Amino acid sequence: MKFAVFRRLLSKLLLLLTLTSVKADLFTKATRTKADERDLRQSVFDFIIVGGGTAGCVLANRLSAVSDWKVLLVETGDDENIDYNIPGVPTNEYRPILWNYRTERNGYSCLSRPSGSCEVKTGKVLGGSSVTNDMKYTRGSKVDYDGWHNTGTLASLEWKFENLIDDFKYSEDNGDYDILMNSLYHSRGGEMHVKKFKYTDRYIEVFNGAFSEMGLRTLDINTNIPEAVVNNQFAMINNTRLSTNSAFLKPVRHRKNLTILKGATVTKIVINKQENTVDGILYEIEKGKERPAYVKREIILTTGAINNVRLLHLSGIGPKIELKKYNITTIKDLPVGMNYQDQVTTGGLAFVMNDVAPVTEEKITNDFKTWFQSRSGPLASRGINQVSAFLQLYENINAPDVELALDGNYIRSDKYLLTNLTVHSAEEFNLPLPYYNLVNIHPILLRPKSKGRVLLNKRNPKYGRPVIQANLLKETEDLDTLVDSIDIALQLLDTKEMKKAEVKFAPLDLFPCDRLSNRDQWNCIARHYTRAMSRPIGTCRMGDNSTESVVDFQLRVHGIEGLRIIDASVMPSHVRGGIFAPTLMIAEKGAKMILKDWKENKGHFYNR
Ligand SMILES: Cc1cc2nc3c(=O)[nH]c(=O)nc-3n(C[C@H](O)[C@H](O)[C@H](O)COP(=O)(O)OP(=O)(O)OC[C@H]3O[C@@H](n4cnc5c(N)ncnc54)[C@H](O)[C@@H]3O)c2cc1C
Ligand SMILES: *[C@@H]1O[C@H](CO)[C@@H](O)[C@H](O)[C@H]1NC(C)=O
Ligand SMILES: *[C@@H]1O[C@H](CO)[C@@H](O)[C@H](O)[C@H]1NC(C)=O
Ligand SMILES: *[C@@H]1O[C@H](CO)[C@@H](O)[C@H](O)[C@H]1NC(C)=O
Ligand SMILES: *[C@@H]1O[C@H](CO)[C@@H](O)[C@H](O)[C@H]1NC(C)=O
Ligand SMILES: CC(=O)N[C@H]1CO[C@H](CO)[C@@H](O)[C@@H]1O
């Protein structure tokens, strides 16, 4: 079996996906009648949700449950396709359903990545990044949330961990009994089903065993513990990816009070300058043709930490000096785009498995058939991705600093060419995840200190890619933590489990770091082969006042009435895990705040 055949197979799959999404697009356009559009123009919505991503789909469900509220959801992307829901297929590679952004070149990180910058890819499809992410369900640690709380600000008490557990549990439907036993943290009956994969393979056992041998216990990382080897739980049902679109939106699409507009990009939030209230939005289905939609109560922005910045700046909400450069009149001077943070990792650390049987095209085709017919087989798994180790490197707090995340990849079997294998080709997926003979160990820095910012595109502010000055690894402390964790990862090779299974260090081509040794070499590798995790936060952070934050602790934009931001961008700092589950929690909490405000304070703060 030749390498080229595998690539062809994967690109065939990609092409198939592209074609189906194009078809879906044509179909929606053809069936969207003139009458629908007139309806849209003539109606005034109680709520407009901008962005149908991870948080947006949850909010659309919760708000449209109130029968006298009319809700509009606007999403740039199109419908989700069943092909995106095969657990073994990495959707984070499907360009048609991604915002393909890059960080700015900075001279100290991402140095050997194309054009000296790192990719940042988030989802552009109904369900957003919950369709393109790794599906892992991790919540982070108590200290992270407690750190969002400001002593002295009563409203921020809501964000202490003890006051968030119920918001996590509200949407949870946990399918693993060993995990459910801890009922302080877990529950059943919500829309978001999470579960471990049943399917396992030899190397999942080997890595689990090796981490255990190193002293890590197998525990549920969502119970506020500092260290563990984790058999991950994933957002899935019946061995099928469960995005927030599938879990929250699809079941309520029939609601008459809910209008979903796909393939439409919001280009402006229209603000009444005299009263600092929102009138509505402008959106485009075809480039350059703006159409309005009007709102009575609130607009809720959920386009994520990068796209929120573009939209707010274009609408006159942002740092005055920045907006002035584009001749945009500032309506409210706020630090929108500042405080950008992303988790970070590095390529270059990989292990090889020498006795993996060659994978044939026939086998893969049969495995696809099996998955479609019975939702089982290897594609009903995420391969080695199912195992992670959370490590506490320093003793100051009771929480992990690094997650060692494992990514499997298949390299053609004449493996002795490995010395010439670049970091890039070691990381590029050739086959679905369950087929692998190389494992990249990605040490993820969970609480990066480095901060950056997002700005409008200089030449094309409206349609161009936002400028992401991510400043990854700017703080040397970040680099030190990453490299410290690599030392621990390398100890894996000394375990009996790894030796017995003949797992070896993969000598990748690490130019220009190949001449260095030890710590100097890993420092060099991390600066050259940096990877952004694409878990951006912070650009619309919550806080006390408009000098330091964009929204208050009720997620209302400072100084603009009727505008809230409810997604990952409001997080002031990272939590020690992924941000999918935290974003769900933020959406639940935000929805509760909206319901409460309109019930109790009607006729007071918001009534116009
Ligand atoms: C490759 C990858 C793997 C990840 N893996 C994990 C993981 O395993 N576990 C985990 O916890 N986290 C993971 N994450 C992170 C996590 O999934 C996301 O950060 C989180 O889901 C973000 O949610 P959000 O609601 O803020 O934004 P999104 O889900 O990205 O939603 C934003 C939505 O707004 C739409 N939109 C943008 N601009 C406009 C506009 N102008 N008009 C209309 N619509 C617009 C977008 O198309 C998108 O649908 C991963 C992220 C990536 C990219
Ligand atoms: C802003 O306006 C000034 C004066 O009208 C003009 O010279 C300048 O080119 C404009 N800049 C942009 C980015 O449009
Ligand atoms: C799981 O999916 C398979 C294949 O579509 C289907 O036959 C089966 O009924 C599903 N099971 C559940 C519990 O939904
Ligand atoms: C590796 O690459 C070098 C330079 O490109 C080449 O000379 C060498 O033959 C290659 N090694 C193998 C084993 O292919
Ligand atoms: C704004 O809030 C921050 C954080 O609470 C505080 O340090 C700062 O002094 C406040 N600034 C003003 C002008 O109130
Ligand atoms: C404003 C509006 O359209 N309200 C309708 C919402 O849906 C309920 C029941 O589906 C109708 O009774 C309302 O008229």
Residues 6 or more apart from 195 whose CB is under 8 A from it?
Answer: 174, 175, 176, 233, 234, 236, 237
Q: Is the minimum distance from the CB of 420 to ligand 4 under 6 angstroms?
A: yes
User: Which ligand lies nearest the alpha carbon of 139?
Assistant: 1
* Cβ proximity of 510 and 522 under 8 Å: no
Residue 25 pLDDT level (bands cut at 50, 70, 90): very low
* Cβ proximity of 77 and 52 under 8 Å: yes
Residue 22 pLDDT level (bands cut at 50, 70, 90): very low
Residues within the annotated binding site for FAD? 125, 266
User: Which ligand lies nearest the alpha carbon of 193?
Assistant: 3
Please compute the mean of the pLDDT values over residues 196-216 and round it to a whole number.
98
CA distances for 510 relative to 348, 423, 515, 521, angstroms? 7, 7, 9, 9
Residue nearest to atom 3 of ligand 6 (CA): 257
Residue 12 pLDDT level (bands cut at 50, 70, 90): low
* Cβ proximity of 80 and 270 under 8 Å: no
Average pLDDT, the chain: 92
Give ligand 2 pocket residues (Cβ under 6 A).
326-327
In this predicted model, what pLDDT tens digit does every residue of 381-438 receive, in sequence order?
999 999 999 999 997 789 999 999 999 999 876 655 666 789 998 998 889 999 999 9
Q: Is residue 21's pLDDT more than 60? A: no
Residue nearest to atom 8 of ligand 6 (CA): 67
Structure confidence at residue 502 (pLDDT): 95
Q: Is the minimum distance from the CB of 417 to ligand 4 under 6 angstroms?
A: yes
In this predicted model, what pLDDT tens digit does every residue of 289-300 receive, in sequence order?
999 999 999 999
Residue 355 pLDDT level (bands cut at 50, 70, 90): confident
Residue 41 pLDDT level (bands cut at 50, 70, 90): confident
150, 156, 545, 558: residue to mutate for ligand 5 pocket, most atoms within 8 A of CB: 545
* Cβ proximity of 440 and 430 under 8 Å: no
The better pLDDT of the pair 601, 348 is held by 348
Q: Is residue 281's pLDDT more than 80? A: yes
Q: Is residue 183's pLDDT more than 50? A: yes
Q: Is residue 457's pLDDT more than 90? A: yes
- Give the nearest ligand 1 atom to 136 CA: 8
Structure confidence at residue 7 (pLDDT): 52
pTM, rounded to two decimals: 0.93
- Give the nearest ligand 2 atom to 327 CA: 1
Q: Is residue 189's pLDDT more than 60? A: yes
Domain ranges of the chain: 1-42
Closest CA to 176 of 185, 163, 164: 185
Q: How far is the CA of 508 from the centre of ligand 4 (A)?
A: 12
Q: How far is the CA of 54 from the centre of ligand 3 (A)?
A: 24
